Amino acid sequence: MKFDILVAEIGSTTTVVNAFRNLETEKPEFVGQGQAPTTVLEGDVNIGLENAIASLKHNLKAESIEYNLMLATSSAAGGLKMTVHGLVYDMTAKAAKEAALGAGANIHMITAGRLRRTDIQKISDIEPNIILLAGGVDYGERDTAIDNAEKIAAMNIRVPVIYAGNIENHDEIKLIFKENDKEDLLYIVENVYPKIDLLNVEPARKVIQDVFEEHIVHAPGMAHVRDMVTGPIIPTPGAVMEASKLLKEHIGDLMTLDVGGATTDIHSVTEGNEEVSRRLIAPEPVAKRTVEGDLGVYVNMKNIVEMITLENLAKDLSKTEIQLNELIDTHIAIPKTECQFKFVERLTKEAVEVSSKRHAGGYRDLFAGGGKKTYAEGKDLTDIKYIIGTGGALTRLPNRLELLKRVALCNNGLKLLPTAEAEILIDNDYIMASLGVLSKENDEAALYLLKKSLNI
């Protein structure tokens, strides 16, 4: 059986392969899916890829699997680990953080101001895939970013460094890395915070993904990935963001939720409401991603149980404390019984509500000479037209539509959350991440298949 493109989603535990054909026609097709355990720990991710293709072959009852191109998203080997370093936390450091998160990074460290010796040690311990260095508006403060560049370039590690700070520092930064014999590891992009209250994160996001693709082969178990994956490789969360941005261009403002076993990711793509924008005390990116590392319905299940409390959870599930503790102790990744489904749905409901409140901005009262004034702070989601569910929980749980309705219904009036009029959409084929990377090759086919999966 011949396909135009296979897209591999190389996860930390599972590798999924999705098959697509007729991509150059008016009716592209998603044909089928195979999956197998990821084999990073075996030292070669291709073993898992080959096993996933064998699974696809079995599922389609095909004699053979042939394809023109293979693309991939990856969160294996720790995903895209980054550290971010800026000048002022609420300005350049925040802008750099938004760029990294939107590209699909897992941020392990953020600093503001000059790096200390303890900071340098932490960076070494983290062993990031990429370091993002910012600082200073264009033609503003220069010395902090230069000092940080000197310390990073002198480190005994060979890690790509992206500089996205004051434009006046370009030549100086190049010289610093040249003197340390690391000019091949330096990437210079437009300033993420070129003027006060102006974010410019998209150029840095693009370069972060390009650098990730170039250097992913150095991650554990990924050395031979290019033997099979011949097209783009981007971080899995970054692929979901790409799909969300593509959809926004064609259907309007939206947010995408993915409640996973370890984390909950939210992507929103919206300029926000004009009236709210006039009250904002700091700029926000049009495309924003947040990742909640404590909100997972399997690996981090006990964190959510603590948030709900055992007493309330027992009441919600009509269980005794003994029955509830047994349910918790025997919890599995994929629910099978009615009781397990209800338990995971309650955990997912909490993850949806808490993550949405954290992602959204809100109103804040400030007191000045003229008295109390109400301002807005954070991401404004009030103009969101569509709330999309992707990932295992929000595409497979029986009450997924009701769970996503909680995004609007959990508002206490102080948060800038979507209204109840927002339409709920489900990524029924669970291929949003694959289509995000596919959009880099064929955005028209990716859009068609996205709409089909969402029943638009």
Read off the pLDDT of residues 271-317 as tens digits, 9 standing for 90 and up: 999 999 999 989 999 999 999 999 999 989 999 999 999 999 999 99
Check residue 373 and give its pLDDT: 84
Check residue 426 and give its pLDDT: 98
Task: Identify whether the C-beta of residue 419 lies closer than 8 Å to the C-beta of residue 273.
Answer: no
Q: Which residue has the higher pLDDT, 230 or 368?
A: 230
pLDDT band of residue 366 (cuts 50, 70, 90) is: confident
Check residue 13 and give its pLDDT: 81
Token pair, residue 66, equals: 């042939």
Check residue 168 and give its pLDDT: 97
Res. 386: pLDDT tops 80: yes
Burial (CB count within 10 angstroms: exposed 0-12, middle 13-18, buried 19+), residue 19: buried
Where do the CATH 3.40.50.2300 domains begin and end in the chain?
80-217
Query: Of 164, 211, 212, 222, whose CA–CA distance to 188 is shortest?
Result: 164
Res. 369: pLDDT tops 80: no
3-state secondary structure 260-321: CCCCEEEEEECCCCHHHHHHECCCCCCEEEEEECCCCCCCCHHHHHHHHCHHHHHHHHCCCH
Across the chain, mean pLDDT equals: 94
Check residue 220 and give its pLDDT: 82
**What is the C-alpha separation between 385 and 34, in angstroms, rounded?**
33
What are the residues whose beta carbons fall under 8 Å from the beta carbon of 116, sequence distance 6 or more?
Answer: none
Mean pLDDT of 382-401: 95
Task: Identify whether the C-beta of residue 145 lies closer than 8 Å to the C-beta of residue 186.
Answer: no
Query: Of 455, 347, 450, whose CA–CA distance to 30 is shortest?
Result: 450
Mean pLDDT of 167-181: 98
Helix or strand or coil: residue 434? helix
Check residue 392 and give its pLDDT: 87
Residues facing residue 268 across a β-bridge = 255, 288
Check residue 368 and give its pLDDT: 72
Where do the CATH 3.30.420.40 domains begin and end in the chain?
2-77+219-231
Query: Of 279, 273, 358, 445, whose CA–CA distance to 101 is shortest?
Result: 358
**What is the C-alpha separation between 83 and 96, in angstroms, rounded?**
10
Kindly provide the residue ranges of all beta strands, DSSP E only, lying in 170-232, ordered along the sequence: 186-188
Res. 370: pLDDT tops 80: no
Architecture, CATH, for domain 248-453: 2-Layer Sandwich (3.30)
Task: Identify whether the C-beta of residue 212 lies closer than 8 Å to the C-beta of residue 220.
Answer: no
Res. 364: pLDDT tops 90: no
361-381 burial string, b = 16+ CB within 10 Å, else e?
bbeeeeeeeeeeeeebbbbbb
Task: Point out the least confidently predicted range of 12-16, 379-383, 419-423.
Answer: 12-16
pLDDT band of residue 228 (cuts 50, 70, 90) is: very high
Check residue 42 and give its pLDDT: 87
Neighbours of 257 (CB within 10 A): 25
Q: Which fold has domain 2-77+219-231?
A: Nucleotidyltransferase; domain 5 (3.30.420)
> For residue 439, what is the DSSP state?
T
Which residue has 């699997």 as its token pair? 65
Percent of the chain exceeding pLDDT 70 equals 100
Check residue 167 and give its pLDDT: 98
Q: Which residue has the higher pLDDT, 38 or 121?
A: 121
> For residue 331, what is the DSSP state?
-
Check residue 235 and give its pLDDT: 94
Mean pLDDT of 189-203: 96
Res. 418: pLDDT tops 80: yes
| pLDDT, tens digit (0-9, with 9 covering 90-100), for 321-363 | 999 999 999 998 889 999 999 999 999 999 999 999 999 999 9
Percent of the chain exceeding pLDDT 90 equals 86
- 63-66, Cβ contacts within 8 angstroms, sequence gap of 24 or more: 63/1, 64/1, 65/1, 65/3, 65/6, 65/19, 66/1, 66/2, 66/3
**What is the C-alpha separation between 168 and 158, in angstroms, rounded?**
25
**What is the C-alpha separation between 121 and 184, in angstroms, rounded?**
23
Query: Of 109, 105, 94, whose CA–CA distance to 193 is shortest?
Result: 94
Res. 372: pLDDT tops 90: no
Check residue 341 and give its pLDDT: 95
Candidate CATH numbers 3.40.47.10, 3.40.50.2300, 3.30.1280.10, 2.40.10.120; the one for domain 80-217: 3.40.50.2300
pLDDT band of residue 76 (cuts 50, 70, 90) is: confident
Mean pLDDT of 121-147: 97
**What is the C-alpha separation between 235 and 190, in angstroms, rounded?**
22
**What is the C-alpha separation between 209 and 130, in angstroms, rounded?**
10
